[in-house]
A and B are shown apart, each in its own frame.
With several copies, the nearest count.
Chain A
Amino acid sequence: APLAELSGDQDFQLFLHKNLEFTRKIKGDVAALQRVVCDTFQLCKEEELLLVQQDLRITQVALEQCHRPGFQAEACFSQIRDGLHAYHSSLAAVLELLPSHAGLVETLQLDAANLSSNIQQQMEDLGLATVTFPAEDRGPLPAFSSRFQHQVGGFLILANFQRFLETAYRALRHLAR
Chain B
Amino acid sequence: LLLLLRLGGTLGCASVEVGSPVVPLGSAVTASCSVRSRLCRGLQGGRARISWMLDNETVAGSQGCGGGDTEVSNLTLPQFNRTQAKLWCWVEWNGTKQRVGLAEIRAGYPPAKPSNLSCLLNLSDYGLTCRWQPGADSLLPTSVVLKCSTSRAPAVTGCTPQGGRSHCTVPRRLLQLYGQMEIWVAASNALGTAESERLRLDPMDVAQLEPPALRSIQSVPPQTDCVTLAWAVAPSSAHMELWCELRYRPPEDPNWVLVTGIVGQAGTAQCCGLLFGTPYLFQMRCRRHSARGHWSEWSAARNHTTHE
* Chain A residues close to B by CB (< 8 Å): 14, 17-19, 21-22, 24-25, 27-28, 41-43, 47-52, 54-59, 61-62, 82-83, 86, 89-90, 93, 106-107, 110-111, 114-115, 117-118, 120-121, 139, 142-149, 151-153, 157
Distance in angstroms between the alpha carbons of A60 and B13 in the assembled complex: 21
Q: Which of B100-108, B217-225, B254-262 contacts A (4 or more CB under 8 A)?
A: B100-108
B104 touches A147 (CB 8 A): yes
Q: Which positions 131-155 of chain B face chain A at CB distance < 8 Å?
A: 150-152
B99 touches A49 (CB 8 A): yes
Number of residues from B at the complex interface, CB < 8 A: 55
Cβ-neighbour of B240 out of A21, A42, A93, A121 (below 8 A): A21
A50 touches B3 (CB 8 A): no
Tell me, yes or no, whether B40 is within 8 Å of chain A by CB: yes
Q: Which positions 7-45 of chain B face chain A at CB distance < 8 Å?
A: 7-16, 39-43
A59 touches B101 (CB 8 A): no
B42 touches A51 (CB 8 A): yes
CB neighbours of A90 from chain B (8 A): 2-3
Q: Which positions 147-177 of chain B face chain A at CB distance < 8 Å?
A: 150-152, 172-173, 175-177
A107 touches B239 (CB 8 A): no
Distance in angstroms between the alpha carbons of A47 and B150 in the assembled complex: 43
Question: Dominant SS at the A interface?
Answer: helix
A sample of 29 cross-chain residue pairs with beta-carbon separation below 8 angstroms, ordered by A number, consists of: A18-B202, A27-B239, A42-B55, A47-B96, A48-B96, A48-B97, A48-B99, A50-B93, A51-B14, A51-B42, A51-B98, A55-B13, A57-B5, A57-B6, A58-B4, A59-B1, A59-B4, A111-B177, A118-B176, A121-B152, A139-B2, A142-B7, A143-B5, A144-B5, A146-B15, A146-B102, A147-B104, A148-B16, A157-B3
Count A-B contacts at CB 8 Å. Answer: 142
Apart from A57-B4, A57-B6, list 7 A-B contacts with CB within 8 A: A48-B99, A51-B13, A58-B3, A90-B3, A117-B176, A143-B7, A151-B102
Q: Which positions 215-273 of chain B face chain A at CB distance < 8 Å?
A: 238-241
CB neighbours of A19 from chain B (8 A): 178
B1 touches A148 (CB 8 A): no
Cβ-neighbour of B102 out of A54, A86, A147 (below 8 A): A147
B100 touches A51 (CB 8 A): yes
Q: A18-B204, A50-B93, A52-B100 are in contact. Are A115 and B178 (CB under 8 A)?
A: yes
